[in-house]
Amino acid sequence: MHIAGPDGELWVFTEGGRVDRDMGHFDLESAHGSTRLERRDGELHIVFDERTTPFFQRMPKRISGRIRLIPGARFDHPVEIDLQGRHRWWGLAPHSRAEVVLDRPGLRFSGPAYHDCNQGTEGLEDGFVRWDWSRAELPHGTAVLYDVEPRRRPGQRRELGFLFGADGTLAPFEAPERRGLGRATWGVDRGTRVDPNGSAKVERTLVASPFYARSVIRTTLGGHDALGVHETLDCDRFAAGWVRFLLPWRIRRAPRPRSGG
């Protein structure tokens, strides 16, 4: 979780902890806080009370609040994003609305939202060299683009595009021309696809790390000027030893249980 609010940028990413789950809820508890996801009346409700990972902060801060995700059309359409079936992606509720209420810090907002999930049988760095992903709200639905470079076929790109209609339809989406978006702060090179003779540019960089960048972009898709969310993942960087050394600055790891004796 990454929040840019009145207290500056706050970052929460806890790895591990005690998990309790069934078909209707998912609870994660650790020494640093707790998060609960619950399906209720066709909506997804998230309640959290977590502690930030300090990065150039003297003391960690707490983030607590609630998120209500109100899906539009829902989709059960798993897609293999590699060529061996080891990595899959679902656009579960790509055309949704979110209502966010934070108690700490005091902040509330609402707007268009997106919900998906990924699943794999190996590490991302084993399956991919890099990928660019983006989603953009269009008048008739949500466009999602994936451009991946598989590890086992270096130099070859796999381009995926889908238009999730607000009316529940799903169709392939073509955006054939690639445009560079420049490098983020740590040198991660970003790119996306646009309509023929279209354009794309970064409006704001939300997250910049040694291996990952998330940005707001303005692009041309389906004949429309659109505002989208874009990410680039550089898996070569992610696998580098110096990056692994830096990860604990951002990711809290739950302490391992001690063995008896």
User: Into how many domains does the chain fold?
Assistant: 1
pLDDT-based confidence at residue 259 (cuts at 50, 70, 90): very low
Residue 260 lies in a domain: no
Q: CB-hemisphere CA count at 13 Å for 261?
A: 3
The mean pLDDT of 39-54, rounded to a whole number, is 87
pLDDT of residue 63: 86
pLDDT at 261: 43
Does 259 fall in a domain?
A: no
**For the residues 106-135, what does the mean pLDDT come to?**
92
Q: Would you state the pLDDT for residue 29?
A: 87
Query: pLDDT over 70 for what percent of the chain?
Result: 85
Nearest partner of 213 among 227, 192, 231, judged by Cα:
231
The secondary structure of the chain, three-state, reads CEEEECCEEEECCEECCEEEECCCEEEEEECCEEEEEEEECCEEEEEEEEECCCCCCCCCCEEEEEEEEEECCCCCCCEECCCCCCEEEEEEEEEEEEEEEEEECCEEEEEEEEEEEEEECCCHHHHEEEEEEEEEEECCEEEEEEEEEECCCCCCCEEEEEEEECCCCEEECCCCEEEEEEECCCCCEEEEEECCCCCEEEEEEEEECCCEEEEEEEEEECCEEEEEEEEEEEHHHHHCHHHHHHHHHCCEECCCCCCCC
Lowest-confidence segment of 16-20, 85-89, 172-176 by average pLDDT: 16-20
Mean pLDDT over 208-229 rounds to: 94
Domain that holds residue 148: 2-253
pLDDT tens for 51-69 read 876 555 556 678 899 999 9
- Summarised one tens digit per residue, pLDDT across range 189-200 is 999 999 998 999
Is position 114 within any domain? Answer: yes
> Is the bond into 105 cis (omega within 30 degrees of 0)?
yes
For residue 33 the two structure tokens come to: 């806080």
- Rg over alpha carbons for the chain, rounded to the nearest Å, is 19
Is the pLDDT at 46 greater than 60? The verdict is yes
Rounded to the nearest integer, the mean pLDDT of the chain is: 87
Neighbours of 204 (CB within 10 A): 10
CB 240 within 8 A of CB 217: no
Work out the pLDDT band at 8, boundaries 50, 70, 90. Answer: low
Task: Tell whether 154 is covered by a domain.
Answer: yes
**Is 95 inside a domain boundary?**
yes
Task: Answer yes or no: is 205 within a domain.
Answer: yes
Give 83's pLDDT tier (boundaries 50, 70, 90): confident
Confirm whether 258 is domain-assigned.
no
| pLDDT of res. 224 | 94
209's tokens: 């790390």
Residue 242 near residue 249 (C-beta atoms within 8 A): no
Per-residue pLDDT band for 252 (boundaries 50, 70, 90) equals: low
Statement: residue 103 has pLDDT above 80: yes
When pLDDT is averaged across residues 128-152 and rounded to a whole number, the result is: 93
pLDDT at 201 over 50: yes
As a whole number, mean pLDDT of residues 123-149 equals 93
Render pLDDT for 142-158 as a digit per residue (tens, 0 to 9). 999 999 999 887 667 88
Query: Is 185 inside any structural domain?
Result: yes
Rounded Cα gap, residues 239 and 233, in angstroms: 11
